[in-house]
Amino acid sequence: MRKYQSKERPWAEVARDLAVNLNAWKERASVLSINSGVGYQAIRRMMRGALHNKTENAIRLCKHFHISLEISDKVIISEEEKVLQAFREAWSGTSKHTELIIALIKCTRNSMTDLSNERICSSRYEA
Q: DSSP letters of 50-97?
A: --SS--HHHHHHHHHTT--SEEEEEEE--HHHHHHHHHHHH----HHH
Amino acid 116: pLDDT: 46
Domain coordinates in residue numbering, the chain: 3-73, 78-125
- In the chain, the N- to C-terminal Cα span, in Å, equals 34
Amino acid 127: pLDDT: 47
Distance CA 99, CA 9 (A): 42
Whole-structure pTM value: 0.51
Q: Are 91 and 97 in contact (CB under 8 A)?
A: yes
Length of the chain: 127
Write out pLDDT tens, residues 70-115: 876 544 567 777 777 787 788 787 888 888 888 887 887 666 554 5
- CB-based burial label for 40 (10 Å; 0-12, 13-18, 19+): middle
Write out pLDDT tens, residues 24-61: 988 999 999 999 999 999 999 999 988 888 999 999 99
Amino acid 113: pLDDT: 54
Q: Binning pLDDT at 50, 70 and 90, where does residue 6 land?
A: low
